């Protein structure tokens, strides 16, 4: 395999985390006196970080295009409290073939990293509860760098920390945030179709391939004969 490192998105790529995210969001809304939102709707808010998700929830329930700063701050505190509790008692699940795919990359000698827009405070616990933590050489959260995906900085930071060139890495994600950030960083990118692409079809995104699973991604990577 020509790739020396694989950079994975987390929510919607490795872990079906919507149950926990939706529960945290709806408990936040309940505390603020607002009605709950459907899990399907909240899933379309995932991708650009926790603050973006909270803002979209508040805009939905208030039917306002702008959010009162005090309400916004209160919502962020409440969501963090509820989601932290949810993460420690997670009802999320690893997607099928994730562990088998990760192990294929690992056996091929690849360094492995998680690069997510989720705040770092939630990442280690989620990976540990999903029994995925021991696979990764590096974790990059949404607040690790000054910018989040779709900015290329998190992927470039991961490559630097892993000691590989962007051309030697492969991104695997589920959304436009992953594909745009990877393209801007000069990194090959594969997308899975089962994730949370803000309600949009991944078929419309610029990528090197759409794969059905992480196992299929490992097979694609092993068969790639492109040279760096």
Report the C-alpha gap between 152 and 20 in whole angstroms: 27
**DSSP per position, 160-226:** HHHT--GGGEEEEESSHHHHHHHHHHT-EEEE-TTS-STT--GGGS--SEE-SSHHHHHHHHHH---
Name the catalytic one among 9, 20, 188, 208: 9
| Dihedral angle computed from the Cα positions of residues 31, 33, 37 and 39, in that order, rounded to the nearest 10 degrees | 10
- Residue 206 designated active-site: no
3-state helix, strand, coil in the chain (%, to 5): 50, 10, 40
Residues known to be catalytic: 9
């Amino acid at each position: 395999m020509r790739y020396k490192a694989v950079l994975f998105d987390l929510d919607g790529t490795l872990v079906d985390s919507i149950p926990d995210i939706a529960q945290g969001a709806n408990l936040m809304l309940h505390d603020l006196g607002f009605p709950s939102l459907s899990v399907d709707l909240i899933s379309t808010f995932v991708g650009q970080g926790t603050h973006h998700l909270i803002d979209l929830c508040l805009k939905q329930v208030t039917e306002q295009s702008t959010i009162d700063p005090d309400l916004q701050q209160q919502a962020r505190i409440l969501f963090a409290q509820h989601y932290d509790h949810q993460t420690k008692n997670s009802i999320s699940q690893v997607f099928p073939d994730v562990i088998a795919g990760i192990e294929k990359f690992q056996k091929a000698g690849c360094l492995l990293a998680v690069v997510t827009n989720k705040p770092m405070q939630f990442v280690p616990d989620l990976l540990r509860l999903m029994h995925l933590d021991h696979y990764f050489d590096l974790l990059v959260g949404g607040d690790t760098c000054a910018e989040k995906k779709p900015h290329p900085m998190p992927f470039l930071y991961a490559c630097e920390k892993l000691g590989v060139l962007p051309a030697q890495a492969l991104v695997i994600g589920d959304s436009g945030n992953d594909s745009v950030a990877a393209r801007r960083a000069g990194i090959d990118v594969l997308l899975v179709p089962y994730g949370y692409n803000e309600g949009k079809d991944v078929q419309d995104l610029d990528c090197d391939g759409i794969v059905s699973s992480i196992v299929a991604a490992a097979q694609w990577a092993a068969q790639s004969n492109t040279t760096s």
